[in-house]
Amino acid sequence: MRAVFSAIVQFLRVVTATPIGRVAMGICVACALLALFAPWVAPFDPTLKHYDSAGKLLRIADPSFKHWLGTTSLGRDVFSQMIWGVRPAMLVGLVVAFGSAVIGANIGLLAGYFGGRSDNLLMRFTDIVMGVPFLPFVIVMLSVFGKDLGSLMLAMTLIMWRASARIVRAQVLSLKQMPFVAAARITGASDLAILYREIAPNIVPLAMVNMAFALAWAITTEASIGFLGFGDPNVISWGSIIYDAFASQAMYRAPWWVAPPGVAIMVLVSAVYLVGREYERVINPRLAGP
Amino acid sequence: MLEAIRLCKTYHSPAGFVLARNRAAPVLAVRDASFSVAPGKVLGIIGQSGSGKSTLGRLLVGLEPASSGQVKIDGQDAAALLAADRKAFYRRVQMVFQDPYGSINPQHDVLETVTRPLRYQGESGDARLRQRAIEMLDRVGLRPAQRYLETHPHRLSGGQRQRLCIARAIIMEPRYLVADEPISMLDVSIKWDIIRLLKRLVNEQALALVYITHDLATVRTLCDEVAIMLAGEIVEFGPVDTVLDAPRHAYTQALIAACPSADPARRGAPERAARA
Amino acid sequence: MIGFILRRLWFMAITLFVMASVMFLLFRLLPGDPTATVISSALHPDAQAALRASFGLDKPLWQQYLSYVANMARLDFGFSFQTSRPVAEMVGGRLLNTLVLLLPSLLAAYLVGALIGAFIAWRRGGFLDTVSVVLATALQSAPVFWIGMMAILFFSLKLDLFPVGHIITPGREMAPGLAGYFDADVLHHLALPFLVTFSYQLCFPLLLMRTSMLSTIGEDFIDLARMKGLSERKVLLRHAMRNALLPLATTLPMLLGWAVAGSVVIETVFSWPGLGQLMVSAVERNDYPVVQACFLLSAFLTVMGTFVADLLYGLLDPRIVYE
């Protein structure tokens, strides 16, 4: 697994080479840290209801010094909810991105290297999974298995590996032809050894690019699920904040409630996407142009 | 002794559809090749692109199964040896490839590249493997070896890479080596260094070398015997001087005639290299 | 070519069959009574028993599976728990509503996005380039439902240009069939969701085309076309774009998948009565037959769209020969 480590180092070096890359990576790291330290950064408990001086519930209050982004229809501090909302975004995003990248890479490796029947079978299976509409499938899974983060992560991972598998397989097909694979074969190495010690290290950068884009997509989907009201009821996510706003019918009176989650998603997803693109640009010389 | 006995390799195109409009004829890449190489001797296999010489090389090394015929190593059937114990087979037979850029895994540094074969064979012990690597690098002329160990192949020149490939091949201490156009992708000035290296290794280690090439100029220096290949068949075979000075087959004659020479009087005959 | 089409259609059928089978299994994994997916638990137990018998739910699983498959093939999706009406009836009109929103916006987004992307790449650099790349990246990263909400906030509520959701002014009835959409009121309601979806989907083809063009422009055959004396516009359109379009054609199926997913949330934001919105409300009510039907129809749209996209790609790239 030395290859993975060196790939990560190379990734960091490449991504922080350009100013755009540095800013984007900075945002990602900041969000990751925010997710870890949310309970200490947020001024209030996000589920805590606030009351005004008269004892009345502080519904949909305008932004003030105490509540930077105002309050929800249940008197909760929006800013604290925003901070806590990073957690499910990062957790679901990273778990799903990593899981689907690993599954997709392995399927691509096996299909591409061994070819023939197994390749055919794996690719036909991938084609079927390609035909599954992603969000509807996740919704169905949640309605069957319950609306918790675990089911969400499982449902997403079950589908998201499909793009990665094809891309990795394509690269494996061309790597297979390279003389160093033949050179490895004439040392008496077994097929699996060649696959995972010669070929796999060469697809790690590509798998990481896939993972970056998968992360962007996963964060968006997690937000969509939250927005539809299918998120984990015990978890506050950016999507669920928008859902609360939407469901209360009061959102159009309170732009401070509705706008920030969307902006947050936009910023984080852009950052992830840009990181992925910066990295892809370097490891994939095919893409010309600025 | 490495023997090839009536080796044949036929490629069939993938099955076409019922209409069979696109069913191409099978390709006879190697037809009825027979020869032998003794330890300490070099056999040159000369031919143009598509003559089947690379395929022949792959057959000898077991990278591809022959359609018919046999390869014998020290009197034993190579296919049987391979099936019985792959690792043991590859301690006796090794190969150097044509492309010094593609035949090294870009993820590995020099130390890794040279010692990989031993690791695949099941050997371990970082210090010991490192020592072996230094020995090999030294023997192929990559000196001082220590300096090269942590270098990455992409920093090396073509010639250095090919030396590295040779080091990787001989670290297994094989008795038989097949070199498939080892110098065709190298600069002219480097070619002779590699040829001399191969010659030295053959002499020092009593290697039996099969040298596959399309370049007549290097053949006389390196080879003891040569086989001329045309469209999969060996059309002429014999000691190198005999074949090159007195070619009998029309194709061999044409090959030699096409070979450039500085002395107009000797036009047509590949000279002995100035630095032999 | 015919062979290709037949084989793809056959594969599509298999794909949908597999998905329907997975649906069958999934819904029977529900904790509790597996028949809860076919018979509403809100009914009286005697009614449930009667329905159970009439639906053949007391028969062994494999027999249920066979009749399920037969029903699917006949497009019989069962009865809705909520309305007790055949699901197929509910879903039909909805499908059209979804398509009316999805297809024009996708096509328009692709065309306009490709043109703008090509144009930007042709101009190569400058303020316009930077601004459009930044805008497109940002817009693509924002969640489409949030964009919808912001659009409603600004254009409908503040500027009062468009109505807030739904397909028609409440109280009015839509004419049946395709003709119903050519009504000024309906179009007025369609406008904002269309614009939002269009703008959102515009970004990907734009950025992709720009990248593709930039690499195509660098190639020799473009210089050759210029040297032949062709006008800039001809070189741009006939030679550069034609080749730069290829990556867009290969990614059309992917974008279609995004569009189907996007329609779920967009319809929810705009209360647009399409498949997506129906699916969401059905899940909230545990109306499983409807959920299943919506899913399978979305799958059908996705698979069909992919097939059409592949055909188009074959037409576009002369190097591809479909056997």
Average pLDDT over residues C101-128: 87
Average pLDDT over residues B15-33: 66
Interface test with B, best of C1, C7, C323 (most B CBs within 10 A): C323
**Contact between C64 and C37 (Cβ < 8 Å):** no
C-alpha A179 chain-centroid distance: 36
| Confidence grade of residue A87 (pLDDT, cut at 50, 70, 90) | very high
Question: Could you give the C-alpha distances from C26 to A40, A197, A248, C21, C295, in angstroms and in order?
Answer: 41, 38, 33, 9, 13
Average pLDDT over residues C278-292: 87
Name every chain C residue with its beta carbon within 8 A of the beta carbon of B14.
none
Q: What is the pLDDT of residue B16?
A: 45
Q: What are the tens digits of pLDDT across the range B102-131?
A: 899 988 889 989 999 999 988 888 899 999
Chain C's closest residue to B19, CA to CA, is: C323
List the chains bordering chain A where 3 or more Cβ pairs fall under 8 Å: B, C
CA distance C315 to chain B (A): 22
Q: What is the pLDDT of residue B17?
A: 43
pLDDT of residue C164 exceeding 60, the answer is: yes
Mean pLDDT of chain C, nearest integer: 82
**Contact between C266 and C193 (Cβ < 8 Å):** yes
Q: Which residue has the higher pLDDT, C279 or B13?
A: C279
Q: Determine the Cα–Cα distance for residues B59 and B64; give it in Å rounded to an integer.
A: 5
A179/B99 Cβ within 8 A: yes
List the chains bordering chain B where 3 or more Cβ pairs fall under 8 Å: A, C
A–C CB contacts, 8 A cutoff, strictly below: 149
Name every chain B residue with its beta carbon within 8 A of the beta carbon of A180.
102-105
A–B CB contacts, 8 A cutoff, strictly below: 57
Question: Could you give the C-alpha distances from A258 to A63, A84, A262, C155, in angstroms and in order?
Answer: 13, 16, 7, 16
Average pLDDT over residues A167-183: 92
Q: With a threshold of 0.90, does the pTM exceed it?
A: no
Q: Determine the Cα–Cα distance for residues C48 and C33; give it in Å rounded to an integer.
A: 12
Q: What is the pLDDT of residue B23?
A: 55
CA distance B17 to chain C (A): 9
Residue B35 in 3-state DSSP? strand
Q: What are the tens digits of pLDDT across the range C82-111?
A: 777 778 888 887 888 899 899 999 999 999
Name every chain C residue with its beta carbon within 8 A of the beta carbon of B22.
323
**Contact between C235 and C157 (Cβ < 8 Å):** no
Q: Determine the Cα–Cα distance for residues C180 and C165; give it in Å rounded to an integer.
A: 17
pLDDT of residue C47 exceeding 90, the answer is: no
**Contact between C231 and C301 (Cβ < 8 Å):** no
Chain A's closest residue to C146, CA to CA, is: A262
- Enter the ipTM: 0.87
Name every chain C residue with its beta carbon within 8 A of the beta carbon of A227.
143, 145-146, 265, 268
Whether C323 has its CB under 8 Å from any CB of chain B: the answer is yes
Beta-strand pair B68-73/B2-11: antiparallel
Residue among A127, A239, A273 minimizing CB distance to C141: A273
| Confidence grade of residue C225 (pLDDT, cut at 50, 70, 90) | confident
Q: What are the tens digits of pLDDT across the range C294-309?
A: 999 999 989 988 888 8
Q: What are the tens digits of pLDDT across the range B163-197?
A: 999 999 999 899 999 999 998 888 888 888 899 99
Among B134, B135, B115, which Cα is nearest to B125's? B115
Q: What are the tens digits of pLDDT across the range C2-45?
A: 888 888 889 999 999 999 888 888 877 666 555 666 666 677 77
Interface of C with A in 124-183 (CB under 8 A): 125, 137-138, 140-143, 145-147, 149-150, 152-153, 157
Residue type, C257: G
Chain A's closest residue to B88, CA to CA, is: A188
List the chains bordering chain C where 3 or more Cβ pairs fall under 8 Å: A, B
Q: Determine the Cα–Cα distance for residues C286 and C33; give it in Å rounded to an integer.
A: 14
Lowest average pLDDT, out of A3-12, B214-223, C224-233, goes to C224-233
Average pLDDT over residues A193-221: 92
**Helices and strands (DSSP H and E) totals, chain C:** 12, 0
Name every chain A residue with its beta carbon within 8 A of the beta carbon of B63.
182, 185-186
CA distance B268 to chain A (A): 34
Chain A's closest residue to B165, CA to CA, is: A183
Q: What is the pLDDT of residue C197?
A: 94
Name every chain B residue with its beta carbon within 8 A of the beta carbon of A178.
102-103
Q: Determine the Cα–Cα distance for residues C244 and C228; give it in Å rounded to an integer.
A: 20
Q: What is the pLDDT of residue C30?
A: 65
C218: phi then psi, degrees, rounded to nearest 5: -70, -10
> ω before B239 within 30° of 0 (cis)?
no
Name every chain C residue with its beta carbon within 8 A of the beta carbon of A130.
253, 306
| Confidence grade of residue B251 (pLDDT, cut at 50, 70, 90) | confident
Q: Which residue has the higher pLDDT, A141 or C4?
A: A141
Q: Determine the Cα–Cα distance for residues C165 and C189; give it in Å rounded to an integer.
A: 7
Q: What are the tens digits of pLDDT across the range B52-101?
A: 888 999 999 989 888 888 899 988 888 898 888 888 999 999 999 999 88
C143/A239 Cβ within 8 A: yes
